């Protein structure tokens, strides 16, 4: 095991903080460009409802100090062979480097002359959106994925204004849900003041409305895009590290540059990028083990998603594709997706208690 060597981590997201917590017997420097200490990104919509940003911090500053982690608030502008360069010109030397730069929200550029649109990726986005919503009488969000729906639900609850969601797919959460479960969820959202426009595409937007391709117009004093993310790979690209959609890593989370590792949303493993907190956490641990010289061979877990909207718990495990087997029990509903003779995915509605059992069924025959 390497002892007393310098580990530097770029990015204070889930992957970066997890790696910092795992690294032992190395001097650790964590560099984060955000003006807040590392926080639970998945909960930033709570700020819309008035939560103090500091209440979302993963750890207080003392946690870093007690562990001897050197926390630098700054932006890395270049990766060199044995040091990274900060925007103020400082050089931070490393023996092992982890790139955990996460991803950036995509913003669509639409015609129509709208002056301002928002995304919801980091704490400062949430604070800007909150300011705008305080003066708004309507809100629209483009994208009916997990993040878009959670944001829509929060805004409808916290601001009590009409909220619209525009989704191109024929039903919401197409990656996590089957059509029937999605319809149930959509009904519950409607009860909370969220109108979902499925099979719909934005054509243009001015400062008051969003115009859909089918001719409908939707009130939108505030407009937010939730149309996916792009892994933050620029630093790696500029350093000559191999990239695809993400920073290409092997199962030890090693990049193509010696002593440089990548983890989380920014990383690409076996042609796949992830975009989920669970994988960022797993990869943060696995990268730290590799950086310490410990044997490990990272295999990503099956994706799972948990959502609570309008009083309904939704759990989605694996991939919801294949022949369906539905089990119902009062308001509980379990849908199993069978492909090639085995359970390929499971969607549980109002039945979180069955999650472990359902997880164990993935990859096995449905009985």
Ligand X SMILES: Cc1cc2nc3c(=O)[nH]c(=O)nc-3n(C[C@H](O)[C@H](O)[C@H](O)COP(=O)(O)OP(=O)(O)OC[C@H]3O[C@@H](n4cnc5c(N)ncnc54)[C@H](O)[C@@H]3O)c2cc1C
Binding site for ligand X (CB under 6 A): 10-16, 31-34, 41-42, 44-45, 75-76, 100-103, 120-121, 146-147, 232, 235, 264-266, 275-278, 280, 305
- In sequence order, what are the beta bridge partners of 306? 315
Which tokens is 270 given?
Answer: 């076996």
The C-alpha atoms of residue 163 and residue 216 are separated, in whole angstroms, by 15
| Nearer Cβ to ligand X (210/314) | 314
- CA distance linking residue 122 with residue 250, whole number of Å: 28
Nearer to ligand X, 83 or 342 (CB): 83
Q: Report in angstroms how near the CB of residue 278 gets to ligand X at its nearest.
A: 5
Of the two residues 32 and 181, which places its CB atom closer to ligand X in the complex? 32
Residue 329 CB, nearest distance to ligand X (Å)? 26
The nearer residue to ligand X, 31 or 288, going by C-beta atoms, is 31
Q: Which of 24, 27, 52, 53 is nearest to 39 (CA)?
A: 53
Distance, in Å, from the CA atom of 188 to the CA atom of 24, rounded to the nearest integer, reads 47
For residue 326 the two structure tokens come to: 């539905």
Q: What is the DSSP letter of 243?
A: B
Residue closer to ligand X (CB basis): 30 or 212: 30
Torsion of CA 291, 264, 51, 125, to 10 degrees: 120
Token pair of 167 as six digits: 């989704």
Q: CA-to-CA distance for 153 and 163, rounded, in angstroms?
A: 8
- In the chain the first and final C-alpha atoms are separated, in Å, by 46
Least distance between ligand X and beta carbon 323 (Å): 27
Task: Kindly state the helix (H) or strand (E) to which residue 222 belongs, with its residue range.
Answer: strand 222-225
The secondary structure of the chain in percent helix, strand, coil, rounded to multiples of 5, reads 25, 30, 40
> What DSSP string runs through 61-120?
HHHHHHTT-EEEE--EEEE-SSEEEETTS-EEE-SEEEE---EEE-----SS-----EE-
To the nearest whole angstrom, how small is the minimum distance from the Cβ of residue 264 to ligand X?
Answer: 2
Instruction: Closer to ligand X by CB, 124 or 296: give it.
Output: 124
State the nearest-atom distance from the C-beta of 11 to ligand X, in Å. 3
CB of 44 to ligand X, least distance (A): 5
Report, in Å, the least distance between residue 241 CB and ligand X.
13
For ligand X, give the closer residue by CB, 231 or 322.
231
Tell me the closest approach of the beta carbon of residue 308 to ligand X, in angstroms. 10
Residue 21 or 266: the one with the smaller Cβ distance to ligand X is 266
């Amino acid at each position: 095991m390497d002892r007393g060597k310098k580990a530097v981590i770029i990015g204070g997201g889930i992957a970066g903080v997890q790696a910092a917590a795992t690294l032992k017997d190395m001097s650790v420097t964590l560099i984060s460009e955000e003006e807040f200490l590392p926080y639970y990104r998945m909960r930033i919509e709570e700020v819309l409802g008035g939560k103090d940003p500091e209440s979302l911090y993963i750890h207080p500053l003392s946690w870093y100090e007690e562990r001897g982690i050197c926390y630098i608030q700054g932006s890395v502008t270049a990766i060199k062979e044995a040091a990274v360069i900060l925007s103020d010109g400082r050089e931070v030397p490393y023996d092992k480097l982890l790139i955990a730069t996460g991803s950036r929200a995509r913003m669509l550029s639409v015609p129509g002359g709208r002056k301002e649109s928002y995304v919801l990726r980091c704490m400062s986005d949430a604070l800007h959106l909150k300011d705008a919503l305080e003066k708004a009488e309507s809100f629209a969000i483009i994208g009916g994925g997990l993040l878009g729906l959670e944001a829509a639900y929060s805004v409808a609850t916290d601001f009590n204004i009409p909220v619209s969601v525009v989704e191109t797919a024929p039903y919401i959460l197409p990656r996590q849900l089957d059509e029937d479960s999605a319809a149930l969820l959509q009904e519950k959202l409607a009860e909370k003041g969220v109108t979902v426009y499925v099979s719909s595409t934005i054509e243009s937007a001015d400062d008051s409305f969003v115009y859909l391709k089918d001719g409908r117009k939707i009130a939108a004093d505030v407009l937010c895009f939730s149309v996916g993310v792009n892994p933050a790979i620029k630093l790696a690209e500029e350093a000559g590290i191999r990239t695809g959609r993400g920073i290409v890593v092997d199962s030890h989370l090693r990049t193509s540059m010696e002593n440089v590792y990548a983890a989380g949303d920014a990383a690409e493993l076996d042609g796949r990028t992830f975009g989920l907190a669970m994988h960022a956490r797993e990869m943060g641990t696995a990268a730290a083990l590799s950086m310490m010289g410990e044997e490990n061979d990272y295999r990503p877990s099956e994706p799972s998603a948990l959502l609570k909207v309008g009083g309904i718990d939704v759990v989605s495990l694996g991939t919801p594709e294949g022949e369906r087997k539905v089990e119902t029990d009062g308001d509980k509903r379990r849908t199993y997706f069978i492909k090639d003779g085995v359970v390929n995915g499971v969607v549980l509605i109002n039945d979180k208690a069955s999650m472990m059992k359902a997880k164990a069924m993935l990859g096995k025959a449905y009985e």
